[in-house]
Amino acid sequence: MPRPGQQLHPHREPVATRPAATVLLLRDAPGNGGLEVLMTRRSAQASFAPGAHVFPGGGIDALDAQSHSVADRRPAQSALHLTQAIAAIRESFEELGVLLARHADGRMADAQDIAAIDRSQPFAAQCAARGLRLAADSVYLLAHWTADRDLARRFAVPFLVARMPEGQVPVADEAEQFEPLWVRPADALARHEAGQFFMIFPTIRTLQRLSGFAHAQAVLDAVAHERPLWVSCPRTGLLAGRQARYMEDEAPFGELALVCPDGQIAHPLDWQSERPVALLRNLQRLTAPNPGVMTGPGTNSYLVGEPATGFIAIDPGPADAEHLDKLWRAAGGDIRAIVCTHSHADHAPGAAPLQALCVRAGNAPPPILGLPSAPTARAASRFTPDRALQDRESLVLQAKAPERGITHTLQVVHTPGHAANHLCLLLLEDGLLFSGDHVLNGSTTVVDPPDGNMADYLDSLERLDACCVQHGVEFILPAHGYVLGDARGALARLRAHRLAREARVLAAMQALPRGSLEDWVRHAYDDVPQRMWPVAQRSLLAHVERIRALQPGND
């Protein structure tokens, strides 16, 4: 984790969460109309999400945990999940008059049972008095949401699912909930986009996930394993001046976790090349104005250091005079070294003009560091640094008196694969990994033989994982895209993706043994836009070379 003293924002303890439960009552629309979910509108006077369209639910109370004896339970259903299911059943009855309970003979509760139970009185005891058992065994865990750290009222909420009992009709309590309606997830989302159906973030994201299911049974089958399909505590940043929330699998999440770990809504997420973006007190990112298919929002140049120590520039990018001037000014003119993670045209050409800029300002020339390009490099990627870095070498920035003791150490890790001379850098004191093009946010890097090598690439992923374990790395700073959180998880997912793609390449080779690379791309990359196939073909060739090395018979 980054040192507390390097964080941009003072520590602020998020508000403690309160336990609650929400239930999504599902049905198949009449006439084979697809999956529908029951929603209601909250009171405009509600203290939480007033006026929002929601699923029924509310806080878990003490009686819910004391009602296990009157509830049916699946063998694998934990005591906690049973309490949550009971709370959801109670709330769906209190708010909508839907009763998930059954008689001893298995019959579900009917209108007579519903009319006999007072919504304002203790719920479970009334059910037991009528010989009803709560159908908690038919309530399954879909997801778990914990409210964003910035909110003044926070809930930890399992989102549960159950099939709507046949013959029952929801009737809102007209106090907390109004206007119950059945709606297809896609229709609710469309109405929200049109400004006609206000919903809060967890509701929106849940409906987006549900829209991929054709019918209610498909949802219930997906959650039968007793594990949530997702768990999330969103984070919020600023995009175009407005708040924007993100889940863990969305690109900006890791950056928000790094910059605003306690949930402060302070970090702008807009991509721009006019000024550097502070990520920590000792870390700035300036994105070059070279956006494109291969570069995403542009090449990220990083400055590590502070005025007391001077700065190391990582990946100066293309030879863009304005970009380099901004990078130099962001460092106060005090650049001590320029490091290129590799020698591709969007990373290294700016090194020499940035060095010259420092010299023209009267400073000693900062050395250009990296690894020399291999003979396999293309002509545009030829590169000879002032000094070749050694694997595991440390580059140290250290303050002199009176700020003595401030240190920033970058350790070199040789990571061939994307390019033969590719390296990554570990900022040891803060547990950060600068990944160059080896790990990107939002896409996978191209491995282009002969300078690129898929076997080396996968080996380097394993090496980076070991570095993360050794140095407690939680964040990856790529050369393209936002900061990635969950560093080891990101590396594991990337490796799994590469191996899954390789399995598809092997299947294409076996199905079309006389096929060309173009033929194999059509089969192995049919989930990729066709316009990207010429680029994908480079990585396919790298997979083919690795497959043939591992399985010589695949010629």
Model pLDDT, residue 554: 63
Report, as an integer, the average pLDDT of 236-245: 96
Give the residue extent of every domain in the chain. Answer: 17-233, 236-270, 272-485, 499-550
pTM of the model: 0.93
Q: What is the dihedral of CA 424, 247, 150, 242, to 10 degrees?
A: 90
| Mean pLDDT, rounded, of the chain | 95
Q: Which of 42, 61, 62 shows the shortest CA–CA distance to 52?
A: 42
Task: Find, among 409, 408, 367, the residue nearest to 392 by Cα.
Answer: 409
Would you state the pLDDT for residue 552? Answer: 73
Residues 6+ apart with CB under 8 A from 310: 331, 334, 335, 336, 397
Does 17-233 match 272-485 in CATH topology? no
Q: Which CATH architecture has domain 17-233?
A: Alpha-Beta Complex (3.90)
Helices 201-210 & 185-193 angle (0-180, nearest 10) = 140
What strand order describes the sheet that includes 475-478? Answer: 394-398, 407-414, 423-427, 432-436, 475-478
What letter does residue 399 receive in the DSSP assignment?
-
- Predicted pLDDT of residue 50: 87
Q: Among 36-40, 255-259, 360-364, where is mean pLDDT lowest?
A: 360-364
Q: Which residues 6+ apart lie within 8 Å of 169 measured at CB?
A: 97
* Residue 46 predicted with pLDDT over 90: no
* Reported confidence tier of residue 329, pLDDT bands at 50, 70, 90: very high
Q: Mind listing the pLDDT tens digit for each residue in 246-265?
A: 999 999 999 999 999 999 99
45-54, 496-505, 513-522: lowest mean pLDDT where?
A: 45-54
Q: What is the pLDDT of residue 176?
A: 80
What the block records as the tokens of 11 is 């520590």
Structure tokens at 21: 């439960």
CATH topology of domain 272-485: Metallo-beta-lactamase; Chain A (3.60.15)
Q: Supply 394's token pair.
A: 């440390």
What's the Cα-to-Cα distance from 105 to each of 101, 109, 117, 167, rounded to whole Å?
12, 11, 20, 17
Q: What pLDDT shows up at residue 383?
A: 96
3-state DSSP call for residue 115?
Answer: helix
Share of the chain above pLDDT 70, in %: 99
pLDDT of residue 33: 79
The single-letter DSSP state of residue 223 is T
The per-residue pLDDT for 142 is 98
- The residue-averaged pLDDT of 230-242 equals 96
- pLDDT tens, residue by residue, 336-353: 999 999 999 999 999 999
Q: Is pLDDT of 475 > 70?
A: yes
**C-alpha span between 487 and 489 (Å, rounded):** 5
